[in-house]
Amino acid sequence: MQDYIYDQFQTVGNDLLRLGLTTSHGGNMSIRHQGNMVVTVHFAMLGRLDPGDLVEVPRQEEPDQITSDASKDVALHQLIYKFTPAAAVIHAHPAHAVAMSLSSDLIAPRDLEGSVFLREIPVVAPAEAAERIPQLLQTHVAVMVRGHGCYAVGRTLNEALAYTSALGLSCEVAYLAQQAGSEPVGG
C-alpha cells in the first residue's frame, strides 16, 4: 500500500482521537481505492495507526470473514460506496452527538458552522443502520446511529473529518446553550 494512503489514515485517525471524536479503540475509516477500498482493521487504535492496521478489500464482493481483519463495519462501508459517490467514510463516536441521538430523530445544528456544513443530521435506530444509512448519505453528509455514533462521508478522509468535527462541535454547542438556559437540546 502506498505511503501517502497510510499517511492520510494516520493523520486523520490521530485527529479523531485528539479532538475527542472517538474512543481509543472505537470507530473506523475507509477510502475508495482502485476498484477496492482500504479500511482500518477491527479494533484498530485510530490515534496510533500502523501500516498493518489497514487492509484492502473488494468494494463489491463480501470480504472473507475468516481471513479478513477488516473492521466489522466493512459491509456497511461497502453499501455506502455502492449507493453514494463518497470516496471516504469515517465512523466515529462524538460524545455530545451520541447523547443528542438518544432523544432526537434529527439533529438540526443552530450554530453557524453546523447549519452551513451539516444542515441536518438524521438519527436512525441501530437495527435500521445497514438499510437506511446508505440511502440517507445520498442527501446528507452524515448520519447518526442512535446511542452509538456517526457515519460521515466526503471526497477525502479530511473532508469526512471536517463533517465529523462540525457535528461534534454543533452538538457540544447545543448542550452548552441548553445548560446556559438559552436553547433546548435537540433543536
Mean pLDDT of 117-138: 97
Number of other CB atoms surrounding residue 125 within 10 Å: 12
What range defines the domain where residue 105 resides?
A: 3-179
Any domain includes 100 = yes
Mean pLDDT of 95-120: 96
Confidence grade of residue 113 (pLDDT, cut at 50, 70, 90) = very high
Q: Name the H helices within 25-126.
A: 74-83, 95-101, 112-117
Confidence (pLDDT) at 71: 82
How far apart CA 30 and CA 101 sit, in angstroms, is: 24
pTM value is 0.93
Mean pLDDT of 49-72: 78
Any domain includes 115 = yes
Confidence grade of residue 66 (pLDDT, cut at 50, 70, 90) = very low
Q: Name the H helices within 19-156.
A: 74-83, 95-101, 112-117, 129-136
Confidence grade of residue 53 (pLDDT, cut at 50, 70, 90) = very high
**What separation in angstroms does the CA of 135 have from each of 4, 26, 37?**
30, 24, 19
How far apart CA 175 and CA 177 sit, in angstroms, is: 5
Confidence (pLDDT) at 91: 98
Give strand pairing partners of 149. Answer: 145
What is the spatial order of strands in the sheet that 28-33 belongs to? 54-58, 36-40, 28-33, 88-92, 149-154, 142-145, 121-124, 106-107
Nearest by Cα to 150 from 123, 113, 179, 187: 123
Task: Write the CATH number for 172.
Answer: 3.40.225.10
Mean pLDDT of 30-55: 95
How far apart CA 89 and CA 28 sit, in angstroms, is: 8
Any domain includes 187 = no
Mean pLDDT of 137-159: 98
Any domain includes 99 = yes
Residue 67 has pLDDT above 90, yes or no: no
Any domain includes 91 = yes
Any domain includes 184 = no
Mean pLDDT of 74-78: 93
Q: Considering only residues 165 and 182, tell me which one the structure prediction assigns the higher pLDDT.
A: 165
- Give the number of domains in the chain: 1
Residue 171 has pLDDT above 60, yes or no: yes
Any domain includes 186 = no
Contacts for 65 with CB less than 8 Å, ≥ 6 apart: none
Over pLDDT 90: what percentage of the chain?
87
Mean pLDDT of 133-146: 98
Element (H, E) at 40: strand 36-40
Confidence (pLDDT) at 72: 85
Contacts for 152 with CB less than 8 Å, ≥ 6 apart: 89, 90, 92, 141, 142, 160, 161, 163, 164, 167
Any domain includes 121 = yes
